[in-house]
Structures are given as C-alpha cells and as structure tokens.
A and B are shown apart, each in its own frame.
Chain A
Amino acid sequence: MLRATFKSLLSRKLRLLLSGLAVVLAVMFVSGAFILSDTLGRTFDSLFTNAYDYTDIQVQAKPKVDGGGDGGAVPANIQSTVVGKVAAVPGVAKATGTVAAEGARVVGRNGKVVGGAGGAPRFGINWTGEDQLISLREGRGPQASGEVALNAGLAKIGNFKVGEQVGVLTLEPKKTFTVVGIFGYAGGRDSIGGEQTVAFTEPVAQQLMLGATGVYNVIDVKVADKRDLTKVRDALRAEVGPSYQVDTGADLAKKQSDQIKKALSFVTYILLGFAAVALLVGVFLILNTFSIIVAQRTQELALLRAMGASRRQMIGSVLLEASLIGVVSWLVGLGLGVGIGSGGAFALAKLTGIDDVAGVGVPPAAWIVSFVVGVGVTILAALLPAFQASRVPPVAAMRQAGTADRPLTKLTAAGGVLAAGGGGALAFGLSGKAHDNTIWWVVGGVFVTFIAVALLTPLLGRPVVSVLGRLFAWSVAGKLGRRNSARNPRRTAITAAAMMISIALVTGISTIFTSVSSSVSKIVDQQVQADLIISGQQTSAIPPAIDPVALARVRALSTVDAVAGQAYGAAMIGGKSQFVAAFDDQAAAARILKLKPKIGRVDRLGAGEMVVDEATAKGRGWTIGDQVTIQLPRGEPRQLRVVGTYPSGPGAGGILLSWPDATAGFRTSTAVQAYVKLRPGAVTTAAKGEVDRILADSPEVNVATREEWLGNQTQIFDIVLTIVQVLLGVAMLIAVLGIVNTLVLSVLERTRELGMLRAIGLRRGQVMRMVTVESVVISLFGSLLGIAVGAGLGAAVVRALKDKGITELSLPWGLMVGYVVAGAFVGVVAAIIPAIRAARLDVLKAIAYE
C-alpha cells in the first residue's frame, strides 16, 4: 500500500507541486511572521541591554497622565531635593540628577528637521561630562547656554562640524546653538540604535526639555556594590514612594525592548493575515486537487478494492499522500519563511537605524505553528476526497466510463440553509433590533453568508458561466472553450471559489474602508470651514509646534479673517486617560468648526471653564455647571466647570479647555494646528503662499489648502487599502495555481477530443484560444461573484456602522473594475501552460486508443 502511494505521488508531480505551493506560501508567511518577531525581539533586547549596560538604577517620576503604555506619556519632573534623598539611601554610591527627554529636533542645512531612521528617538540631555558610556570624539562639552554637543550619529547624518551653528526645536520654537563637541558611545558606536542626542548645559536642558529650571526627569544611581542591585532598588522604592518608578538597567532594557516590539508587532499581524488568506484559498486548491486525483484514479482505486484493500486502507492511502505533500511543503515553506522572516527583520531594523541585527533563529513557535498549518491543513483538506476514494465500489474497476459529476443537491441544500441563516442574521442585525450587538450579528451573518455562497457556487456557476461564455462565443475556439467551462460545474465552482473568496475579501474590506474614508471626509468637509490649515508632521515625542510669533503674523495678514490655533494632549479624568484640546481663539474656532451650543455656550471659554460634546457628557454623566477634576501632563489637578455642550461628530469632538488652562498644563504651550479662515474675495493660493513664507522658520509645520488637508485626513485608509491589495495579490497567486490545476486536468481528460479537433483541422492557435477562454470564463466567474458578494457584505457592515458615524456607503468602483480586469488577466496567465500543453499534443498519440 505504501509503495503504491509513493508510485502514484510520483506520477502526478506537477499537480502535487501546484497544490503544495499554496501550503508552501501559507507556511512561509506563518513561519516568517514568527521568525521576524523573534529576530527583531532578540535584536532589540541586545540593543537595549547595551544601552543600559552602564546603568545600575534609574529613578523616574511616574507620568501624571498615562500615555496608554506606548511611551507617549509626558515625563514628569523630579525636584532637585529628591536627588539628595536618593543619594542618602544606604548602598547608593552616587546619585546624579539628569535630563533625558525625547523631543530635541535638530534642523539641518535644508531647513528641515534632520532625517533619520523612522521611529528612532531624538533625545535632549544635560551634559554631565564623560563617563563609561559617553566619551567625546571632538571638541568639548557645552559650558555656556548657547552651546551644545551632538552625538556622532547625528553629526554624521546632518554633516555638522564643531564650531557650526545649528537650530534646535524643543518644547520651545527653534533656537540656535553653537556645536562645541561631538561624542560617541562605548564600543566605538556613533549612535545607539539610530538615536539622535543633543547635550545642552543643565539649565538649558531643563528649560527646553522639561519646561522648568531646577528639575530633572531621571536620577541616575550608581550602587557601591553591584551584588546589592535589587536590594538597593527595593530600598529606593521604599524611600521615594509610589509616585516614582525605580528600575535597574536590566528592567529598563526589558521594558523598552518590549515597548518597541509591541510597536512593531503590526508587521507580524500583516504576515499572519497573508497566511490566513493563503490558507483559506489553499484549502480549496488542495481539496480540488485531491478530488481530481481520486476521480482520475477511480479505476485504480476500484482495482485495489477488488483485490481486497479495505476502506480504511483507501482513506489511509489518500491521507498518507496528503501528509507527504504537507511535510514537504512545510519544510520548503519553513525555509522560505526563514528567508522572509530574517530578511524582513533586517530591513525593519535598518529602517529603525539598527546596524547589528541578531542572527537567524527559528523559535519553537515557528516550528510548531507552521507544522500544524502546513501538514494539518493539507490533511484536513484531503479528508473529504479520502472518503470519496473509500466509497469507490470494486465494480467500478470493470467500468470504462469515467465518473460522472455527482448531483449538486446536497451541496445546494446545505448552501441554501446557510444562506437563509446568514441572511436572517444579517437582516436581524440591520433591523436595529439587536441594539448593542448589531455589529456581531452583522459580522456573523456576513461570515455565514460567505460560506453559503461558496457552497452555492456550483449552482450559480451554470447560468453565470453560460452568460459569460457568450462574450467569447464569436469564434469556434471561443465557443468550444465556453462549452468546456460549463462541463464540470463542481470543478469549475471549486476553482472559481478560490478566486471568489480572495476577491470578495478585498472587495468587502475595500468597500468598508472606502465608505469610512468618504464618510469621514464628508463630515470633516461639512464641519471644517477653514480655507487653509496649518499642521505639522510629528517627528518626536514632542508634538510639532507653530511658533506663536509666526501665528500672530498670520493673524495680522490682510487677507486673513480669523485663525483658530489648536493644541491638544492627554489628560486624566476620573482615572481614565482622555484626549483633550484647546483653541487660542475659541470664538473663531466655534465659527470655523461650526460648533453650535446644545446647552450653554461654546464660543467663549475663560480659565477654569470647559465645554464638552454631548456623547462624552452623557458617557461621563456630566451636565452644565458640573465641576470636573482634570489632571493635565503638567501641574496639579484642576477643577473645571462645564459651561456648554455641543453635538458630537467625528469632525470635532471631545473636551475643549480654555487656552490659559491648556498652556499651563500641556507639554507645549504653543498651538500644533491652526485653522485659517480667509476674508471673502481673498485668493486661496496667494494667501497660502504668504503663510508659507511666514512659516519658513517652522520646519515641522506646513500649510495646506482645505482640499489638500482633507486628502491627508484619509491617507491612513489609503495605506490600509494598499496593504489589502497586496493581500489580494497573494490570494490571486494561489487562485492562479488552482485554475492551472483544473485546466491541466481538463486537457489531460480531453486528450482524445483535442486530438480529434486537431485531426479535423483545428489550428494550434485555436486550441490555445479554446483553453484560454475556458480559463478566463472560470476566473471571471470567480471575480464577478467575489465582487458581488464582497460589495454586498461590505455594504452590510457599513450599514451596521451607521451609528458610529459611517453614513456614506461608497463602493470602490475603480478597484472593482480593476479586480475584474485582474480576474481576466489571471485567467489568461493561468491558461498559458495548459494551453501550450494542449497545442503541443501529439495528434497521433491522442487519437490512438489501442
């Protein structure tokens, strides 16, 4: 039995190769995802271990407002008296108050913030002299308030020399300094993981990075005896109390590494998403391949049965084949996964400015999960065909004719029941009776309907394929191809289903995102009445700031009617982190952003007052006149009184504070975005030019017209859509394999027919056209069905999101047309090999039957 299995495997190399490829792809993505995150993880672990190599213990104040764990929290300041307290703890050899905060952006020669690796931090520190970690390469440390030292990495990127003047953006707008020194790190490094550091004198660092003199944000502690590290840490914790964080260097390294790994985990999720699609489509491919193999081998299987092989042996034989394919594909996929995993890790590390990437390694999770995916799924997909094989009666060995397509009754019935169930769930969800569970009913309904459509594909296939085929029926070859594609509805359907699933998936997601995008831009468009918007590109922990002087000059322009400068940040209210904003001119903001009071007033805000949108007010249980305690990033908690509410909407929302409260409590006291309304009759482009010139010295901010800005608001959706298209590419690749598989089989099955056609005068070109038409009809059927299903289900989800402000349903017409074209193209590509095979057919052999 084993020998027979091997023999039959070898005799169908091509087909198995094709079906194995889907498994290979899925395994590649799964293992790649694990290997990538593992490699990156080890890279960052070693990076931060290096960075904190010479750190014994650090004491930091806990941030007043939670940054949501993503490191975006504004560091809290430590009074210099605490340094003395820390130094007095037994076991502490030395305690140094230091400033080390992110957000010192150096302006390069081109007037823009010095570029660098994406996401690498830009630190501003106080110069504490050379130590084990830091050593000067050139010049000296800063001694006067107008002097700075730069790390060698930053100096290299910006091409800065000692003695040169550089502009630095901090909490305050651009200030100019003289570079007096360039320093490097232990081990001859220019930078630790691509970081950029500006060292100021202590008072300057305190003022510019922390917003006050005489304070620090980190106390660096050296212990007398390294063996006492944890003991001293615990003693320090007891001494400084719960409002401080005390960590050893190792703790810190782990914390930071974890943080960055979490930030990069999206890449892993994308890869896993690709794997899921590859698997979903791959299951169909494998199922189809094995059904075909079993159907083709009916006689052989029957012969084995006639000779006394048991049903169990038959199932075992097919499953053994499946496992062999699974194991081989798994190994190949794992090999490729190591490639994309380590390659991806390398690329990402480079992108973040890290030079020493950890070596390649395959974590146990990669082995296990990819094995389950590769081998498990292959066997699972082969189960049904295996049972089919066991049901072949021994007498079939004596019959000449091939097996006819089984009736579709069972499939259709199952599909019908599921479609009714899914449709019911959708209808219930959309009727609004499900209340809070609406989205779950809809998503569940979508999922069930999806499966139902897949099951109903053979039934739908007949009429659709017949209609589609008419498009090509103008030539004999086309007519024959069309008839061929309608010959095995089951096979055509399974092949097209792979295509259907991938295209339905992306059409659905595209429909949702296009709708969300157009809803957002419509609402924003209606709400924002500004002609120009000044906004910035955030390059560090400190938000981009508009120089107040520049903003005042914009206000003074003769073409400008009103300007509303906006600042925002996080606040703690009732123990929860909350986004809050403020305008420097509330009246202008109310006018430009169409804020209409629901109750009270919203166009005037004095210190100690706030307004809030209805939804937030309802959620928090606030009414007019309530006193609310708010903790802003800086200063002590404040009591604010609610003076007005306004209707909620995605355009403007949340809590608005008065400008004096905001400037006192936010990290920066400047506006980060400004809405500009021009006087009637002013030319927008001319005004934009004027504002542009005023902002010449604010390297992080730009002015955009309303249209440009609206476009930027929906950019994120465009990125998501792009990723989705790549996903489609992967799925289509597998769908191509499926079509090739089916066509190759068709050509084999119809060898004699092809021989006859060639004998009576069908040209090679016509044969190729015939096969191509069959292929295109199948793939177009899959694409059209996919588009219909995807758009329908996507629309259902959009409809369910109506309460969430997604009021616009817009179908991605351009993309959908693109998918149909892609579908046709896939059909043509898939037909290439089978068509050539068919055309090359030896006519004599094809018609010889003895």
Chain B
Amino acid sequence: MTATLATAAARAVDVWKVYGSGEAEVAALRGVSVGLERGRYTAIMGPSGSGKSTLMHCLAGLDSVTRGEVYVGDTLITGLGDRGLTDLRRDKVGFIFQQFNLLPTLTAEENILLPLSIAGRKPDRQWYDTVIDTVGLRDRLRHRPTQLSGGQQQRVACARALVSRPDVVFADEPTGNLDSRSGAEVLGFLRNSVRQFGQTIVMVTHDANAASYADRVIFLADGQIVDELHEPTAEAVLDRLKRLDVTAAAVADRATGVL
C-alpha cells in the first residue's frame, strides 16, 4: 500500500483465498493488497489462522489465489501453470524453511548450489564467496547436514536461498527450530543481506523479537491486513500483538454471540 508499484519486489492486489465451498467455505485471505518493497526486510505477523502463511505461499507462487492478482517483480503469476510457477520459483524466489529442509545426501556446498544446478546455471564465484563468508560456513562446506548443528543447517539454508540472487527471499518461521543464540545469528545475517546487498526478504513469524529485525512489520488478522509498523522494536511489536489478540477475541465473542 505504501510502496509504489515500481519498487515492489512482490505484490498482492485484492487477493482472496477461499477454501471449500457452500456451508464449509472458509476465507483465509479476504481482499489483501500489499506491496513488498525491493531491498527491504518485511515481517508478516499475526495470530494462528490469521492467514499469514497463506499470504506468503500465494506471494511465493506456491499456492494459487481464488481472486485477485499476485506479481513477483513485474511478472503476473496468477494463472501461471505448474511449469511456469516452478521456473519462477527457481529463478526469482528463494526459500528458507522452519525445518531447514536440506537434502541429507548432499554436502553443505551441494545443498547451497542446488537451486543453481537445478536451473543449470553456473554460480557467480564472487557472489558465492561473499555469501559463504557472510554465513561463516567456509570450513563446513564438505559436511553433511547431519554433521551440522541446527544453526549451521539454517545458515546453509539461508546461503541456498541467497546464492541464486532471487528477486525475493521468503522465510517461513526461520528461527522456529533454533535456540535464541542461533536464531539471533540467522536473523542478523538476514538483516545484513538486506542492508549490505540490497536483498529483499519477506519473513513470516510469530516471534516479536524476530520481527524486530525487520524494516517493516505487517499484521494480519482474520485474513485481512489490520496494521503495520515501520522500524519496529520488540516492545512495539508485542504491544500491537496484544491489541490484536484483544480485537481477535472480541471478533470471536461476537461470532459466538450471533450463534
């Protein structure tokens, strides 16, 4: 909303996502319009069931929308087939998952280079070295994921997401499985990649501390964007979340009242 079209790395225009039909119809997203600025670190927050993961999946071309349009860069991805979406994810999007999701059969280095080898592209050596040094994995490249700690595995996953220089990196609860120290490392690293290399990152999280690393926080409730914060602190985020809970509880009360 606040971002101009030209600077958006990904944007949603009046996006609806509806599951089921008739009586069992559930709307996960109700007319969400949002632009995610290039070179910025955006966090998406909200209580369980608020639609934050669905929004990310739709923006990343993992899920289709019921109504509305989604753009990644200047490409309209709504209506693209599986092949088109796959290639879009391969070439323009990076992913970081909560469970790291590394291939146990590959070494750290092979995991990092996986998106490039899938696309059949040669890595940009200089950029690759920069990424490796930034995540601090130089001496772990020949290791298998099982030989790495959780934090190290997630840093491998971050390097994997960054090495192909995607238009946008989506991170889904990247610190959910990490202790606080490793989590802080990963979050710091993500923020660095935005600051130093102009990477665009979108992160879904329910951790206020994690969200405080972002430049901008978008709050979702009941499938709609209800609030947003710029240059947030953990306290401010917590405060907003508390208010959101109250609103959500009120909405729920009203719903029960009707019944």
Give Cα distance in the complex from A483 to B117, angstroms.
Answer: 15
**B57:A476 contact, CB within 8 angstroms:** no
Q: Would A487 and B105 count as touching, CB distance under 8 A?
A: yes
Tell me if B91 is interfacial: C-beta within 8 Å of chain A.
Answer: yes
Set of chain B residues within 8 Å of A755, measured between Cβ atoms: 101
Contact with A along B80-115 (1 / 0, CB 8 A): 001100110111011101110101111000000011
Contact indicator A761/B62 (Cβ below 8 Å): no
The verdict on A756 contacting B118 (CB below 8 Å), with A761-B87, A761-B89, A763-B86 known, is no
Which residues of B lie under 8 Å from residue A762 when comparing CB positions?
A: 86, 90, 118
B162 to chain A, nearest CB (A): 12
Residues of chain B within 8 A (CB-CB) of A476 are: 114, 117-118, 120
B133 close to chain A: CB less than 8 A: no
Which of A753, A757, A759 is packed against the most chain B CB atoms within 10 Å? A759
Q: A476-B117, A843-B62 are in contact. Are A764 and B82 (CB under 8 A)?
A: yes
Residue in A484, A486, A753, A756 with the greatest tally of chain B CB atoms within 10 Å = A756
Known: A476-B118, A844-B63, A849-B98. A760 touches B105 (CB 8 A): no
Distance to closest chain B CB from A783 (angstroms): 24
Interface residues of B in 58-83 (CB under 8 A from A): 60, 62-63, 82-83
**CA–CA, A483 to B105, complex, Å?**
6
CB distance from B140 to the nearest CB of A (A): 19
Q: Mark A756-784, 1 if CB is under 8 A from B, else 0.
A: 11111111101000000000000000000
**Nearest neighbor of A487 in chain B, beta-carbon distance:** B105
Nearest opposing residue in chain B for A484, CB measure: B105
User: Cα distance A759–B62 when bound, in Å?
Assistant: 7
B148 contacts chain A at the CB level, 8 A cutoff: no
Taking the nearest CB of chain B, how far is it from the CB of A274, in angstroms? Answer: 39
Q: Does B119 contact A (CB under 8 A)?
A: yes
Cross-chain contact A760 with B95 (CB below 8 angstroms): yes
| Given A760-B118, A761-B89, A763-B86, CB of A480 within 8 Å of CB of B95 | no
By a CB distance below 8 angstroms, the chain A residues around B106 are 483
The CA of A99 and the CA of B62, in the complex, are separated in Å by 91
B103 contacts A763, C-beta separation under 8 Å: no
Which among B83, B87, B94, B97 has the highest number of chain A CB atoms within 10 Å?
B97
Q: Is the CB of B103 within 8 A of A480?
A: yes
For residue A761, which residue of chain B has the nearest CB? B90
Q: Say yes or no: A480 contacts B105, CB within 8 Å.
A: yes
Q: Given that A753-B103, A844-B63 are contacting pairs, would A763 and B97 also be in contact in the complex, using a CB cutoff of 8 Å?
A: no
Chain A minimum-CB-distance residue to B173: A850
* A764-B86 contact in complex given A476-B118, A759-B95, A843-B62, C-beta closer than 8 Å: yes
Shortest A341–chain B CB gap in Å is: 48
- Asked whether, in the complex, the Cβ of B62 is within 8 Å of the Cβ of A844, the reply is yes
Of A483, A757, A758, A849, which contacts B99 at CB under 8 A?
A849
Interface residues on chain B, size class: 20 to 34
Give 1 or 0 for each of B205-236: 1 = CB within 8 Å of chain A CB. Answer: 00000000000000000000000000000000
Q: How far is A62 from B231 in the complex, measured between Cα atoms in Å?
A: 115
Does A397 touch B at the CB level, under 8 Å? no
Q: Which chain A residues in 730-770 approach chain B with CB under 8 Å?
A: 752-753, 755-764, 766
Q: A476 CA to B94 CA in the complex, in Å?
A: 18
Contacts of A615 in B (CB 8 A): none
Say yes or no: A847 contacts B86, CB within 8 Å: no
Which residues of chain A are within 8 angstroms of B99 by Cβ–Cβ distance? 752, 849
Q: Interface extent on A, as a size class?
A: 20 to 34
CA distance A758 to B101 in the complex (A): 12
A760 touches B117 (CB 8 A): no
How many angstroms between the C-alpha atoms of A680 and B160 in the bound complex?
83
Output the least CB separation between B156 and chain A (Å): 13
Residues of B contacting A757 with CB < 8 Å? 103, 114, 118
Cβ contacts A300-313/B at 8 Å (1 or 0 each):
00000000000000
8 Å CB interface, A227-258 against B: none
How far does the alpha carbon of A758 sit from the alpha carbon of B103 in the complex, in Å? 13
Closest CB of chain B to A772's CB: distance in Å? 17
How far is B98's CA from A487's CA once the two chains are assembled, in angstroms? 24
Give CA–CA (A450, B64) in the complex, Å.
55
- With known contacts A480-B103, A484-B105, A844-B63, A761–B97 Cβ distance under 8 A: no
Type the 1/0 row for B165-205, where 1 means its CB is closer than 8 Å to any CB of A.
00000000000000000000000000000000000000000
**Which residues on the B side are within 8 Å of A843 (C-beta)?**
62
Per-residue interface assignment for chain A, residues 469 to 501, with 1 indicating a CB less than 8 Å from any chain B CB and 0 otherwise = 000000010011001101100000000000000
A480 to B62, CA, bound (A): 22
List, in ascending order, chain A residues with CB within 8 A of B101's CB: 752-753, 755-756, 847
Please determine whether A760 and B115 come into contact, CB atoms closer than 8 angstroms. yes
Tell me the nearest residue of chain A to B89, going by C-beta: A761
Question: A758 contacts which chain B residues (CB < 8 A)?
Answer: 86
Collect the chain A residues with CB atoms within 8 Å of residue B93's CB: 761
Bound-complex Cα distance A753 to B90 (A): 16
Which of B83, B98, B105 contacts A763 (CB under 8 A)? Answer: B83
Report the Cα distance A762→B97, complex, angstroms.
Answer: 16
Smallest CB–CB gap between A105 and chain B, Å?
71
Check A761–B105 contact: CB distance below 8 A.
no
Residue of B nearest to A762 (CB): B118
Q: Mark A812-847, 1 if CB is under 8 A from B, else 0.
A: 000000000000000000000000000000011001
Query: Cα distance A761–B161 when bound, in Å?
Result: 12
Residue of A nearest to B94 (CB): A760
The residues of A that contact B117 with a CB separation of less than 8 Å are 476, 479
Q: Which residues of A contact B95 (CB under 8 A)?
A: 756, 759-760
Q: What residues of chain A lie closer than 8 Å to B103, measured between beta carbons?
A: 480, 483, 753, 756-757
| A760 to B62 CA separation, bound complex (whole angstroms) | 10
Chain B residues near A487: list those with CB within 8 A. Answer: 104-105
- Bound together, the chains give a CA A20 to CA B63 distance in angstroms of 39
Shortest CB distance B137–A (Å):
18
**Shortest Cβ distance from A477 into B: residue:** B118
A761 and B114 CA atoms in complex are apart in Å by 10
* Cα–Cα, bound, A484→B105 (Å): 7
Name A485's closest neighbour in chain B (CB-CB). Answer: B105
Give the residues in chain B near A759, CB-CB below 8 Å.
Answer: 60, 62, 89, 95
B83 to chain A, nearest CB (A): 6
A476 to B90, CA, bound (A): 13
A188 to B37, CA, bound (A): 98
**Once bound together, how far apart are the Cα atoms of A476 and B83, in whole Å?**
17
Q: How far is the CB of A540 from chain B (nearest CB, A)?
A: 69
Give the residues in chain A near B82, CB-CB below 8 Å: 764
| Cβ–Cβ < 8 Å partners of B62 in chain A | 759, 843-844, 847
Partner of A766, one of B63, B105, B118: B118
Min Cβ gap A94→B in Å is 91
Report the bound CA distance from A76 to B62 in whole Å. Answer: 91
B residues less than 8 Å from A752 (CB atoms): 99, 101
Contacting residues, chain A, for B120 (C-beta < 8 A): 476
| Interface contact B97-A847, CB-CB below 8 Å | yes
Q: Which of B62, B87, B93 has the most CB of A within 10 A?
A: B62
Q: Decide if A844 touches B57 in the complex (CB within 8 Å).
A: yes
Known: A476-B117, A487-B105. A760 touches B90 (CB 8 A): yes
**CB-CB < 8 A to A847: which residues of B?**
62, 97, 101
Q: Could you tell me the distance in whole angstroms from the C-beta of A404 to the nearest C-beta in chain B?
A: 10
Q: How far is the CA of A762 from the CA of B60 in the complex (A)?
A: 15
In the bound assembly, the distance between CA atoms of A19 and B117 in angstroms comes to: 37
Quote the shortest CB–CB distance from B31 to chain A (angstroms): 21
Beyond A476-B118, A753-B103, 7 additional pairs, beta carbon < 8 A: A479-B117, A758-B86, A759-B89, A760-B90, A761-B89, A844-B57, A844-B63
9 contacts between A and B (CB under 8 A): A476-B120, A757-B114, A760-B89, A761-B86, A761-B87, A762-B90, A762-B118, A763-B87, A847-B62
What are the 4 closest A-B residue pairs judged by CB atoms, nearest first? A761-B90, A483-B105, A756-B101, A476-B117
Residues of chain A having any CB pair with chain B under 8 Å: 476, 479-480, 483-484, 486-487, 752-753, 755-764, 766, 843-844, 847, 849
Interface residues of B (CB under 8 A from A): 57, 60, 62-63, 82-83, 86-87, 89-91, 93-95, 97-99, 101, 103-106, 114-115, 117-120, 160
